[in-house]
Structure 1
Amino acid sequence: MHGPRTALIWRAVFALLGWTILTLQYALMLATPDRGPVELTLNFFSYFTILTNVLVVLAMTLPVVAGGHSIGRWAAAPGVRASVTMYAVVVGLVYHFMLHATWNPQGWALVANIGLHYVMPIAMLLDWLMFVPKGALRWSAPVKWLAFPLIYGAWTAIHGLAADWWPYWFVDASTLGWGKAGAYFAGLLVFFTLVGLIVVAIDRMLERRSVVAG
């Protein structure tokens, strides 16, 4: 476990980097000529990647700027940071194995893409591994953490029906049909749970090691 000063510096650096990457991606979306700014903004915040990166950036920012307040302590809590780590890891893995081959970003779009899907998820994972006290997680925690992707799934369905716009090919019910899109989403929920269980297992393993070392 590294010291609080190191954690503070780490989180400050990645908070700044994360806000910069999100701003860059938003600016790139606004440069799209075929949609209005309101629709583009709604679509921007309808990507699970964006929402998860907002959580990651808040998890980095709040302990730095509000560490002495309740919201800063909440963001630093082991359960909160573990859940955000689960979401971030899933974002990176799903992008790499299900989305990476579907497009070829260039220039600043490539920079934003790498930041959102690789740099920030890895930063969150390392933050959790290095700076968060271990041993506080229960095996049931990953089921509770599914609330976020479940709410996101409901929003995606509502937004998709209303606007005929889908953020990812594997939830595009208008193309795949509701049965197949639902099957993909159910599979993703199972994957979230598995990643969450791995997070809990690592938490317990590292806690036991710290006890033995102590």
Structure 2
Amino acid sequence: MLHNPANKDVVDVVIRFFSYFTILSNTLVFIYFLNLLLSRNSDASFWHKPETGTAITVYILVVGIVYHAILSQLHNPLGLAFWADHGLHSFSPILSIVYWILFTSKRTIQYQSIPYWLIYPAVYFVYTIIRGNFSGFYPYPFLDLNKISFLQAFGNSLLVLLVFTFLSLSLSFIANKRSQKIKTYTND
């Protein structure tokens, strides 16, 4: 982004870089795993709560799903860009779901926390539309009001929020079933 001659303002380039849900979610994944590595293994810690790990897993899974279902057909990165692209959109979601399956999914998740998980993507959509209105920059074509109507962008946002909701409910259900089986097995 910095090497593009059209991008002369470094602050704008940094803001645009962090305007991608992919970058924000991968940063969150990095912070999550770093905190797990550095913090004490305490269930009271925010980073060790199964709700935290499940929400972050949902976020990064949506990154992978949206990329592979929609965005990957729109561009063809080459060289290092190819590897960076797949690191952010493929490797990170796979690593996160594997970790979730092996460790997080064995613990009970409170369903009432799911609406809170949806705040991040909802705020992201609102921020993207508002900032795009002033800057003309929309990081994703399904939100780009320069090319589609507000109603289409709103509908696309709702569709993606439904994916977040479905994955949140699904992973929570799986975790609670696994947790229940483990408790039943250990009580026998």
Fold conserved (TM > 0.5)? yes
Which stretch of structure 1 is more off in the superposition, 159-168 or 57-66? 57-66
1:154 maps to a residue whose letter is V
Give the distance between the partners of 1:208 and 1:158, measured in 2 at CA: 44
Matches of residues 73-84 of structure 1 in structure 2 within 5 Å? 73-84=45-56
Residue of 142, 158, 163 corresponding to 1:191: 163
What's the TM-score once normalised by structure 2's chain length?
0.91
1:63 maps to a residue whose letter is L
Secondary structure of residue in 2 paired with 1:175? coil
1:115 aligns with 2:115: no
**Post-superposition CA distance 1:74-98 (Å, at most 9, x none):** 2121111110001011110010001
Residue pair 1:59, 1:76 contacting (<8 A) in 2 also: no
Secondary structure of residue in 1 paired with 2:6? coil
Residue pair 1:78, 1:132 contacting (<8 A) in 2 also: yes
Q: 1:51 corresponds to which residue?
A: 24
User: What displacement does 1:130 show?
Assistant: 1.0
Are the structure 2 counterparts of residues 203 and 159 from structure 1 closer, same or farther at C-alpha, using a change threshold of 3 Å? same
Q: 1:99 corresponds to which residue?
A: 71
Are the structure 2 counterparts of residues 131 and 44 from structure 1 closer, same or farther at C-alpha, using a change threshold of 3 Å? same
Matches of residues 10-159 of structure 1 in structure 2 within 5 Å? 29-35=1-7, 36-67=9-40, 73-132=45-104, 134-159=106-131
Secondary structure of residue in 1 paired with 2:146? helix
1:146 maps to a residue whose letter is L
User: What displacement does 1:133 show?
Assistant: 6.0
Which has the larger helix fraction? 1
1:87 maps to a residue whose letter is Y
Give the distance between the partners of 2:91 and 2:105, measured in 1 at CA: 23
1:81 maps to a residue whose letter is G
Residue pair 1:52, 1:87 contacting (<8 A) in 2 also: yes
2:81 maps to a residue whose letter is A
Residue of 126, 129, 140 corresponding to 1:168: 140
CA RMSD of superposed structures (Å): 1.9
User: What displacement does 1:70 show?
Assistant: 10
Aligned length: 185
Q: Which runs of 5+ in 2 are unaligned?
A: none
Give the distance between the partners of 1:69 and 1:38, measured in 2 at CA: 39
